[in-house]
Amino acid sequence: MPKQMFEKDEKVLCFHGELLYEAKILEVVQDSPSEPHQYRVHYKGWKASWDDWVEDDRLRKMNDENRETAQALKRTYHESTQKPAKTAASKKKGQLSDFGSTRGSEERNGSMPTTSRGQKRGRNAEIEDEETFHNRPMIKIPVPDYIKSLLVDDWEEVTKNLSLIPLPAPKPANMIIDEYFDEEKEKRFPGSAEMDLLEEVRAGLKEYFDVALGRTLLYRFERQQYKEAIKAWTEGKGEWKGRTCAGDVYGAEHLCRMIVQLPEMIAQTNMDGQSVNRLREEMTKFLQWLNRNTQTYFTAEYESTNQDYKDQSKGVGS
């Protein structure tokens, strides 16, 4: 039986479109014990004609953490609406990741699709694809400034200073995701839509990280290290014992590289607008939490490489 998560007259934050607004619950109803509760809300400062009936998945408790999320979503929304429109090509180029893979976009953009007769599609089809691309729900994740600076430093250490993040990471990506989950689940009701979403995000982040690490998250200089890491975790000796995948080996830097690539990934899925909004909220919360714990999870010191490694790295393809 669904649990009532909010009370009449409670002040809450409520999703309306992409943003969270302050609201007050005017009425709570439940048609049957097996049905979810319905909440009639009044948005602060809005006319009564905007009062709305919503389920608990659109509501958030009025606390400091959720207020911070609401402000971050608002800032991101205003930034996205103030920027000039871009073409599909420039849009995709900019979304590949501000700090991400050295793999060029040409590696991901295959040759022009063909029709069933094997002929290249004409200009009309290309225009139609561009319109479809623009109409897909887009997700702009607000990355905290400090994490952005760490990613820039990370890029410089690897690509300019030819240094590497020591592996295996003492706090690898899977551990980071699990520790966030364990802390965040205490704020959610078991069996609720919010808890279900948290579990889906946890599983999805882990799964995609393992798939994406070797494909899009490495700088070219790191690929020889990746080759050596695969061998080490396959053998499972010493500090590598129990580490069976990329998520058990690589840490916060590579995890954040993946998160800044999410806009490009989402643009190529059939995810609906509501799901996009929920994912953005979860990623915003996760990054805010990670931003508060950077000293715990990010690498304090990169390791220098010898000439032998530099020579070997030149022969490993990007």
Q: 141-178 pLDDT, tens per residue? A: 889 989 999 999 999 999 999 999 999 999 999 999 99
β-strand pairing of 52-54 with 38-43: antiparallel
Q: Region 312-317: what's the mean pLDDT?
A: 75
Computed over every residue of the chain, the mean pLDDT equals 81
Confidence tier at 17 by pLDDT (50, 70, 90): confident
Please state, in angstroms and as integers, the Cα–Cα distance from residue 11 to each residue in 50, 193, 251, following that order.
16, 20, 39
Q: Which range has the worst mean pLDDT, 124-128, 164-168, 200-204, 214-218?
A: 124-128
pLDDT greater at residue 118 or residue 139: 139
Residue 285 tokens read as 């919360």
pLDDT at 13 over 50: yes
Give the dihedral sign, CA 256/261/265/271: positive
Element (H or E) spanning 30, and its range?
none
Please state, in angstroms and as integers, the Cα–Cα distance from residue 249 to each residue in 234, 236, 241, 291, following that order.
12, 12, 11, 21
| Amino acid letter, 131 | E
Confidence tier at 228 by pLDDT (50, 70, 90): very high
Could you tell me if 19 and 43 are in contact, meaning their C-beta atoms sit under 8 angstroms apart? no
Q: Region 80-84: what's the mean pLDDT?
A: 55
Confidence tier at 265 by pLDDT (50, 70, 90): confident
What does the pLDDT look like over 127-148, one tens digit per residue?
Answer: 434 455 445 555 778 899 899 9
Q: Which of 57, 6, 16 lies closest to 191, judged by CA?
A: 57
- Coil, strand or helix: which one is 21? strand
Where does 208-295 show beta strands of DSSP type E?
none
Please state, in angstroms and as integers, the Cα–Cα distance from residue 33 to each residue in 2, 4, 53, following that order.
7, 11, 18
The C-alpha atoms of residue 69 and residue 250 are separated, in whole angstroms, by 27
pLDDT at 115 over 70: no
